[in-house]
Amino acid sequence: MAVYETSLSNQKAATKSFGDHRGIYCVGSAIIAVTTAMIDNANDDVGAFWVEAGAVITGATFAATDIDSGTAFVVDVGDSVDEDRFIAAATTGQAEGLTNALAYSGFLYKFTARTQVRVYVKTAAGTPVAGTIKVALFGFYDPEFSTTALTAA
């Protein structure tokens, strides 16, 4: 297993403030140049970016060039607690493409602390090819947002 980092995944990476919390924003994004070494082993992962506490996720997008000239590559996007919190078992990368299928566990997930978003190789590329992956999370900032389910009175 190898762990890779980008300039945005560095612990001291700058984050941006996006004004009031009533709108939907890109709460974090990264474009990562992928080497064949980064995708040739299951359980490899790369730090993409950091998300600040108070962010509530409403969407995720993952895109990749054709980084597997075979058909084996499977990827997750999550954090250190849940590898597939945002994107689960995407085959994007077996061919160039994009997925915005937010995993159930990621919808309205609230970050309670500054957290690093990571891209995890679930299944290694059959024939790795250097390329590019892009990942973004969308949502709003609301430190008071409650994740407790409402109940009928």
pTM to 2 decimals?
A: 0.85
- What is residue 29's three-state secondary structure? strand
Which pLDDT score is estimated for 91?
A: 96
Angstrom distance (rounded) from CA 24 to CA 106: 15
Task: For residues 58-64, give the mean pLDDT.
Answer: 97
Mean pLDDT for the stretch of residues 12-32: 71
Taking the CA atoms of 72, 75, 80 and 86 in sequence, report the sign of the dihedral they define: negative
User: 3-7+21-141 maps to which CATH number?
Assistant: 2.60.120
The enclosing H or E element of 37 equals helix 36-39
**pLDDT score recorded for residue 1:** 67
SS (H, E, C) 102-144: CCHHHCCCECCCCEEEEEEEEECCCCECCEEEEEEEEEEECCC
CA geometry: angle at 133 spanning 39 and 105, to 5°?
90
Q: What is the mean pLDDT of residues 4-19?
A: 59
pLDDT at position 81, please? 94
- DSSP 8-state assignment for residue 22: T
Between 109 and 4, the more confident residue is 109
The pLDDT confidence band at residue 126, using thresholds 50, 70 and 90, is very high
Domain ranges of the chain: 3-7+21-141
Please state the φ and ψ torsions of residue 129, each to the nearest 5 degrees: -135, 135
> So what's the pLDDT on residue 5?
72
Phi, psi dihedrals of residue 106, rounded to the nearest 5°: -90, -20
